[in-house]
Amino acid sequence: MVIRFTSLMIEVKFMKGNINMTIQELINKLNTYCKDNDIYSMDDCDEEICDELKSLNFKYVASVDRDEHRWYILSENVYEVSIGNKTYYIGTWEVETLKSECMSVSDCGCRLNFFEMEQYTTVSYRRKK
């Protein structure tokens, strides 16, 4: 099975359960695509790219951090992607909210830049009821 990311120039080959592309290669290709095409939001991605990401089970998981500015709010979003039999997590800062009707997402100057993330478990306590 061969999946081609035409706009990203990525070729992923599945051979007997092994894969030739690493998560870092995927992140590098996504970052190159976002930089070359001025992508500021996942909504700005080509339909073709979105379809290709869906084929890797690319899906939103959570927002883990927020950075509030005067005219907009940024959110660190986590996405899950499956390459071969492994699940990876990648993150990016995205504009969550615009506080002015006169602004667009590109006015915030926060182009998508993907990076690898990891899932971890924390322990917390509360009063027993």
The pair of three-digit structure tokens given for residue 15, joined into one six-digit string: 């051979």
If phi > 0 it is left, if psi is from -120 to 50 it is alpha, else beta; for residue 84 that is left
Q: How far apart are CA 91 and CA 63, in angstroms?
A: 9
Q: Residues in the chain, how many? A: 129
Helix (H, G, I), strand (E, B) or coil at 28: helix
- Report the range of poorest mean pLDDT among 21-25, 49-53, 118-122: 49-53
Q: Are 92 and 75 in contact (CB under 8 A)?
A: no
Q: Are 29 and 10 in contact (CB under 8 A)?
A: yes
Predicted confidence (pLDDT) per residue in 42-92, tens digit:
877 777 777 777 778 888 999 999 999 999 999 999 999 988 889 999 999
- Report the range of poorest mean pLDDT among 19-33, 69-83, 90-104: 19-33
Query: How large is the average pLDDT for residues 27-52?
Result: 82
pLDDT score, position 34: 87
Q: One-letter amino acid identity for 117? A: M
Q: Are 56 and 19 in contact (CB under 8 A)?
A: no
**Residue 40, phi then psi, degrees to nearest 5:** -110, -10
Mean pLDDT of the chain: 80
